[in-house]
A and B are shown apart, each in its own frame.
Chain A
Amino acid sequence: MRNVIDKYKRELVVLLATLGMAVFFTILNPAFFTWRTFLTVLQQMVLNGILAVGMMFAIITGGIDLSIGCTFAITGIGVATLTVNGVNPFLAILFGLAIGVVLGIFNGFLVTYLKLQPFIATLGTMSLYRGIAYVWTGGQPVTNVPDTFRNIFNGKMFAGIRFYVLVMIIVFVIAHIILSKTRTGDYLYAVGGNEEAAKLSGVNTRKVKFIAYTICSVCAAVAGLVMLASLGSAESTAGAGYETNAIAAAAIGGTRMAGGRGTALGTFIGALMLAVLKVGMVVINVDSFWQYVVTGIIIIVASYFEFIRQDIAAFMARKKA
């Protein structure tokens, strides 16, 4: 038990802070503490949660992926075009995931073979992919996506919970398994922690990074599918700016920006916190301008605690030595 608490200390702290927030909102407006509000929070964390867990993989290797919002848009457009033209929805989903794989591999190629800084490489693909989305559609939205596709994600399971919530949970569970139960997971952390050391000990760092960027893009594609199901239409402009919220969720959840650390559970709680914050501020009717201010402060505070924690750890280590 002790071990578990130690291992997930960071996650626990963020979870407690999130619960504290929920209590705060409930005190200000008891309407916050209802099943329907909880459901709203759960559903509104889905897109950001899926994007964030993918982003976490890129960050763990010491990188970043700014292009996810555009991958998200392209997937939406591609799958919408297929389903509107009568393609089987499951085939269309496979196609959507394939888009994620291809765009992710391209990001991986830029970062590994061309040795571009991930920030710059994906800044480039961010514009490139957005451009593709514009060219593909000529700026026109793709509308009237059939219900056969929409219901796969948007249908209700029980108690009003929609299938896409389940999709998010599956994504997180898979991410958790990859990171904590597989050798690939160890390699991901190793590459992010100390790339040279990882290389010297025989890790194929290129392959590991390819995997990270591909997972990241596939997650963006999954989020694109959910968005398409939820809105019933796709636009070339969708997802602009979504990468920042994904980074925020990962960072709040304890993912180290320099790489080498981060957990699926932490990112889940990070996304949960942002959703609670977003819904809570609407429920207590905070002016929308102030919502930006508050969100910004929360991110800064959360990151600051992360730094302090590192300082303390370093101090203790020195003392021991």
Chain B
Amino acid sequence: MKRKVVALLVAATMAMSLAACGGSTGAASSEPAQETEETAEGEAEAEAPADDAEATEATGEFNPDSDPSAMTIEEVREKNGAEVAVENGIKLGAVQKSISNEFWRTLQSGYEKAAETVKAAGIEYEVTIDSTTDEGDETGQQTMVQNQTNQGLAAIMASPISDSNLTQAVEEAQEAGIPVINVNDGLIAIADYYVGPNAYQNGQLAAEWISNKLGDQGQVGIVIGMAKAFAARERTAGFEDWITENNSGLEVVAKQNADWDRQKAKELASTWITQYPDMKAIFCNNDDMALGVVEAVEEAEADILVVGVDGIGEAYDSIRAGKLDATVDSFPYYMAQVATECTLRVLAGQEMPHVVATPQALIDSENVDKDAAEIIGWTDAAYVAK
């Protein structure tokens, strides 16, 4: 009898994961940065009304990629003035996820860099950074936000694991009068502000680059990440819409999910290479999958461009080695600095747009060794003591 119960349990687990969430465990881990970006960019929005509607539905009425009032940090600095007045002794909180993942570690060092910049202006400042180990600890992350609320921090910058796991904690923070700034995804629909990259534009940049390289002709494939992730949908939509809107000669002949998993992406690409001998380029929703596809392309000795998204260190190495062709980097190091600046502007009483789009750029062999600050034209914020 006992055995039967166990057998049943096994069957149930198996059916569940195979039928629906084959990647759920994998997702957590193998989707470092990717599931992360959604953003705001007026431009993107204007170009993509259809995608808009779809994404809005899926994420509860809030799609930062299509917020018409979205601004870049440069636009904010122009509108509100370069100077940011900061109260002496101010304390901020940051809650992020998946410290096992390079993207989030980089975001953390960005918060630390921002703190140095503030302190360099002679201001007493402190930021408390809490992070979960992986993407599985949804309730742990909620507790982190609640703790920071209880500590009475001035504002909280939060990057939730899912679109919903922090909702309650954010409500509590807001009731306590603490503004919450949503940094990167998941999306907190009720957050006061959103700061992050534009995932839709990721796809557009990739499509444009591939089109230029191929003389706007040829078959392309798209390896998508787990579809529940906002970033996966937006990146794919941005890529496809760019092709449609520009009447491009590129033709998407294949589009399949590989669960953010490197091995799965490699196997998928191997199948495509056999099946579509004329395939000229493959766009992947993240670098991890792109690095798997690169292996398949190398093995087949095929002449196929591979483009990823995220800009992880391994992708840079691969580009330098002449294997991966390009990646769209959303610079978490600078994203955290933009987030800190926006938060301090909010606290200084400045009028801020609901969505601030953070810098991103396409990296290929030509600019792979260029300084990131130079690529995005970065200048540190100008903090002054209040």
Interface residues, chain A, CB within 8 Å of chain B?
31, 34, 36-37, 39-40, 43-44, 47, 62, 64, 69, 117-119, 134, 138-141, 143-144, 154, 227, 230-233, 235-238, 240-241, 244-245, 247-248, 251, 257-259, 278-279, 282-283, 285, 288-289, 291-293, 295-296, 299-300, 303
Interface of chain A, helix or strand or loop or mixed?
A: helix
**B199: which A residues are within 8 A, CB to CB?**
none
**A227: which B residues are within 8 A, CB to CB?**
263
Bound complex: CA A289 to CA B255 (Å)? 11
**B99: which A residues are within 8 A, CB to CB?**
139
Contact B101 A288 (CB under 8 A): no
Contact A244 B18 (CB under 8 A): yes
Which residue of B is nearest A256, CB measured? Answer: B7
Which residue of the partner chain, among B6, B23, B30, contacts A117 with CB atoms under 8 Å?
B6
Contact B13 A244 (CB under 8 A): yes
**B3: which A residues are within 8 A, CB to CB?**
62, 258-259
B119 lies within 8 A of chain A by Cβ: no
Contact B227 A240 (CB under 8 A): no
Bound complex: CA A232 to CA B380 (Å)? 38
Q: How many whole Å from A123's CB to the nearest CB in chain B?
A: 9
Contact A43 B102 (CB under 8 A): no
Contact A299 B18 (CB under 8 A): yes
How many residues of chain B get a CB closer than 8 Å to chain A's CBs? 55
Bound complex: CA A317 to CA B24 (Å)? 44
- Stretch touching chain A among B210-218, B268-276, B326-334: B268-276
Residue among A140, A282, A295, A300 having the largest count of chain B Cβ atoms under 10 Å: A282
Q: How many whole Å from A317's CB to the nearest CB in chain B?
A: 19
Report if A237-B29 is in contact (Cβ < 8 Å); known contacts: A64-B6, A259-B3, A293-B19. Answer: yes
Interface residues, chain B, CB within 8 Å of chain A?
2-4, 6-7, 9-11, 13-15, 17-20, 22-26, 28-30, 99-102, 105, 133-134, 224, 227, 254-257, 259, 261-263, 266-268, 270-272, 274-275, 288, 291-292, 295, 299, 314, 317
**A292: which B residues are within 8 A, CB to CB?**
18-20, 22
Which residue of A is nearest B223, CB measured? Answer: A288
Contact B270 A241 (CB under 8 A): no
Contact B29 A248 (CB under 8 A): no
- Subset of 6 A-B contacts with CB under 8 Å: A44-B267, A69-B25, A233-B291, A235-B30, A240-B25, A299-B18
**B133: which A residues are within 8 A, CB to CB?**
134
**B101: which A residues are within 8 A, CB to CB?**
139
Contact A258 B4 (CB under 8 A): yes
Bound complex: CA A300 to CA B360 (Å)? 46
Bound complex: CA A172 to CA B72 (Å)? 58
Residue among B4, B100, B314 having the largest count of chain A Cβ atoms under 10 Å: B100
Which residue of the partner chain, among A36, A40, A299, contacts B14 with CB atoms under 8 Å?
A299
Report if A143-B317 is in contact (Cβ < 8 Å); known contacts: A245-B18, A288-B224, A303-B11. Answer: yes
Q: How many whole Å from B306's CB to the nearest CB in chain A?
A: 14
Bound complex: CA A39 to CA B267 (Å)? 12
Q: How many whole Å from B284's CB to the nearest CB in chain A?
A: 14
Bound complex: CA A144 to CA B318 (Å)? 10
Contact A231 B10 (CB under 8 A): no
